[in-house]
Structure 1
Amino acid sequence: MTQLQQRTHRLHRAWVVAAVAFVTLIGAAGFRSVPSVLIDPLHAEFGWARGTIGAAVSINLVLFGLISPFAAALMDRLGMRRVVSWALTLVAAGSGLTIFMTASWQLQLLWGVLVGVGTGSMSMAFVATVTGRWFVHRRGLVSGILTAAGATGQLIFLPLVAALATEYGWRTASIVVALAALAVVPLVALFLHDRPADVGTTAYGGEPEAAAVAPVTGSSAARALRTLRDAARTKTFWLLAGGFAICGASTNGLVGTHFVTAAHDHGMPHTTAASLLALIGIFDVAGTIFSGWLTDRVNPRILLGAYYTLRGLSLMILPSLFAPGVEPSMWVFIIFYGLDWIATVPPTVALCREKFGENAPIAFGWVFASHQVGAAIAAFGAGLVRDLQGEYDLAWLFAGGLCVIAAVMSIAVPRHRVS
């Protein structure tokens, strides 16, 4: 009996790798979302305009997406373990050094550039890399579970950071984020194996010969750019990228960044608003995992069309739901919107895999980059709307209309043979 046969009755290593990736993605999402609850504390201490602080968030969001395809290519060459370990270290440095900042450009450098690059190296392209290497069966389900890690990170970090910032100041919150990032590094070093062949096994549900993988050579950056060049020649890429840009604008950029401040404008305490945002994360866990399950069974185009349409309608009614307290109608929004928050990721990954084959993680990295560009525009634009008009109503309505356009784009994605 071979070593591989002896392991058939044990937990497959793929699930261990997925568990470590889940923890890592929890941290990445939590670290990236922290600035959303620091807008008012930074404004109060330094007097910086919300648009200025929003610019730092925008840099963070752009790099969170833009680094993704390059990180995916680098993982093919250097391995997931090295890339993720360095990314966590970069996040720790960016967050920890903010306690010394005295000017807004330092906020943009640290929370914007350093944390953006670090978290971008552990973003959704990482999900595509893990599922592509380690799973043949249950890819959609695992994509949903790993994507849900983003919501879980939000659930864990937002109430904690809001409470720390309120009780002890935003510097304490920044230190906690730095220490949390460093705490994950040993876990990654020990258990985040790069490929099944490295530990004498195959992908979950895969054939034994699938374990042999030719080493990747050449420039990772050049490969990422070549993949973009080839993908950009297809209608599928532009439809997915356009829809995902709207996805980012309507989630991370708008709700993730400005919900707490918008709720506070209507008299709701910061901690209550942050807890509501975290509750969106709770329901998103269920919604995204269910979306992954559906992606293994239902046409991803139909799923995306439904998700974007429902999200758009919910955003259009949000301005009428804000109040000093949490009314029943707001609870309905939190549950409904939470189920839809990032349920778009599993079907989008599936469509990238259907069209782009072995380059799917990198192609999805570029699609995800568009997600973050959209998020960055919304983060800055909504802050500007708030500064000019004193309220966010126009931002919610505009984002809702864009979601309807994303639904049409998603349904129009051409069909391709799975590679």
Structure 2
Amino acid sequence: MPATLTAPSKRDRRIRIHRAWWVAAVAFVAIIGAAGFRATPGVLIEPLHAAFGWSHTTISAAVTVNLVLYGLTSPFAAALMDRFGMRRIVAGALVLVACGSGFTLFMKSSWELIIYWGIMVGLGTGSMAMAFAGTVSTRWFVKRRGLVTGILTAAGATGQLIFLPLLANLVAAYNWQVAAAVVSACALAVVPLVWWLLRDRPEDIGALAYGATAPLPAVAATGAGRRALAVLGRAARTRTFWMLAGGFAICGASTNGLVTTHFVPAAHDHGLPATAAAGLLAVVGIFDIVGTIASGWLTDRFDSRKLLAIYYGLRGVSLIVLPLLFSDRLDPPMAFFVIFYGLDWVATVPPTLALCRAAFGDADGPVVFGWVLASHQVGAGAIALGAGIVRDQLGTYDPAWYGAGALCALAAVLSLLVAPRLVREA
């Protein structure tokens, strides 16, 4: 006999925390676990270069494969969650991340790096990407969706950055293999928690989504690949999709592709120790929590297009200034950059997801956002490789920073070209 769906009474709401918040908490921990290995490129580029003699371009190529697969997997993962459930997909993704990280301990050549670090970890983390955050917030929340999206987005970005000081210190004290083993263990340790507490839909436990007065419509369990491609086909016929995808490609280029991957080696070029540079990125991660949650709050109240334009514009200015701030010590201007950039790091996600929902509906919105995220990672992969080539050819990263700043100005313009009618619906 199916469970009866009931809205909690006022007394229950005073006494009990809605199950949706527990699901969001588990998703937060799971996303951080998956993000662990995503943090490693910045601190392992120089150690791998020293250990194997591989060029920055070769190592960056593996990062590019990782980033692109991370993005291309996301829309299919969102559809697979509709077919097989979030719990199975997320648990399997964490196991894949743990295996990919652990197998690098035995690699001898660069093609193995591409398979383990690029393909396996790319597929695993892609299944735990921001589309997962969108699926959780869409299924479990009617009220506070923007806030929850901001919190879960912060989990991914902050998990990557907070792991950096730990990994950098492990590399400095021991070697890169110890760092890879620790990440593998951390990702694997989250699997039991996911299997125990994560649930696919509130209806599965006889509850309603947070803020809902009736059950939300379920998506038919059709072929995941077919549905993901069908949703893409419908979305690609709209201008809104291309404006959001173009802006998010630049978002990925200016964050995961450039800063996460190349900030530490760029600071190392100027004499700053890798541990100190990784510590700066960890501070970015701390302020990212504040910035992304605040962005979720703002998204529930203000014009999402204008929020995106402001975020991209400010990010572009900060990247153009960054090359002037690098030195062999931690100066106040660099500290200001870290705080400012942290607040803006992934603040773009809540308004972008809100616009996807407004344009394509609650059922297709997370899948469309998965495709928009794919463009994010294609942009990230392109600049990760491009910056590595620039560094090998010119001996400096400066042109990459200036180019990313200019692209952010273009992203601000693209955001304002999204259909104005969506502002009232987002």
Normalized against structure 1, the TM-score is what? Answer: 0.97
Closer, same or farther: CA 101–2 of 1 in aligned 2, 3 Å: closer
Partner of 2:200: 194
Aligned residue type for 2:43 = V
Partner of 1:203: 209
Closer, same or farther: CA 208–97 of 1 in aligned 2, 3 Å: same
Partner of 1:371: 376
Shift of 1:151: 3.2
Closer, same or farther: CA 254–155 of 1 in aligned 2, 3 Å: closer
Residues 71-113 of structure 1 deviation map (CA, whole Å, 9 limit, x = unaligned): 0000001000000000000001100010100000000000000
Partner of 2:416: 411
CA distance, structure 2, for counterparts of residue 201 and residue 288 of structure 1: 28
Alignment pair present for 1:19 and 2:5: no
Shift of 1:350: 0.2
Report if the CA contact (8 A) 1:305-1:407 is conserved: yes
Alignment pair present for 1:386 and 2:383: no
CA distance, structure 1, for counterparts of residue 262 and residue 195 of structure 2: 35
Partner of 1:33: 39
CA distance, structure 1, for counterparts of residue 5 and residue 247 of structure 2: 47
SS in 2 for 1:208: coil
2:274 is matched with which residue: 256, 263, 270? 270
Partner of 2:171: 165
CA distance, structure 2, for counterparts of residue 342 and residue 393 of structure 1: 23
Q: Within 5 A, what are the aligned runs for 1:6-405?
A: 7-8=12-13, 9-210=15-216, 213-214=217-218, 216-357=220-361, 358-405=363-410
Residues 156-186 of structure 1 deviation map (CA, whole Å, 9 limit, x = unaligned): 3111111111111111111111111110000
Identity rate, percent: 63
Shift of 1:209: 3.4
Shift of 1:262: 0.2
Report if the CA contact (8 A) 1:151-1:282 is conserved: no
Report if the CA contact (8 A) 2:77-2:89 is conserved: yes
Closer, same or farther: CA 47–299 of 1 in aligned 2, 3 Å: same
Shift of 1:28: 2.0
Closer, same or farther: CA 185–412 of 1 in aligned 2, 3 Å: same
CA distance, structure 2, for counterparts of residue 234 and residue 137 of structure 1: 27
CA distance, structure 2, for counterparts of residue 170 and residue 364 of structure 1: 35
Residues 99-152 of structure 1 deviation map (CA, whole Å, 9 limit, x = unaligned): 100000000000000000000000000011000000000001111111111233
Identify the range of structure 1 (29-38 vs 284-293) with the bigger mean alpha-carbon deviation.
29-38
Normalized against structure 2, the TM-score is what? Answer: 0.96
**Structure 2 residues without counterparts, runs of 5 or longer:** none
Shift of 1:218: 2.3
**Structure 1 residues without counterparts, runs of 5 or longer:** none
Shift of 1:418: 3.7
Aligned residue type for 1:37 = V
Report if the CA contact (8 A) 1:382-1:395 is conserved: yes
Report if the CA contact (8 A) 2:5-2:215 is conserved: no
Report if the CA contact (8 A) 1:129-1:361 is conserved: yes
Aligned residue type for 2:67 = L
Report if the CA contact (8 A) 1:201-1:208 is conserved: no
Shift of 1:30: 2.2
Aligned residue type for 1:35 = P
Q: What is the number of equivalent residue pairs in this alignment?
A: 417
Aligned residue type for 1:401 = A
CA distance, structure 2, for counterparts of residue 27 and residue 116 of structure 1: 14
Report if the CA contact (8 A) 1:26-1:149 is conserved: yes
SS in 2 for 1:205: coil
Residues 330-373 of structure 1 deviation map (CA, whole Å, 9 limit, x = unaligned): 01110111100000000000000000102000000000000000
Identify the range of structure 1 (201-210 vs 285-294) with the bigger mean alpha-carbon deviation.
201-210
| Alignment RMSD (CA, Å) | 1.4
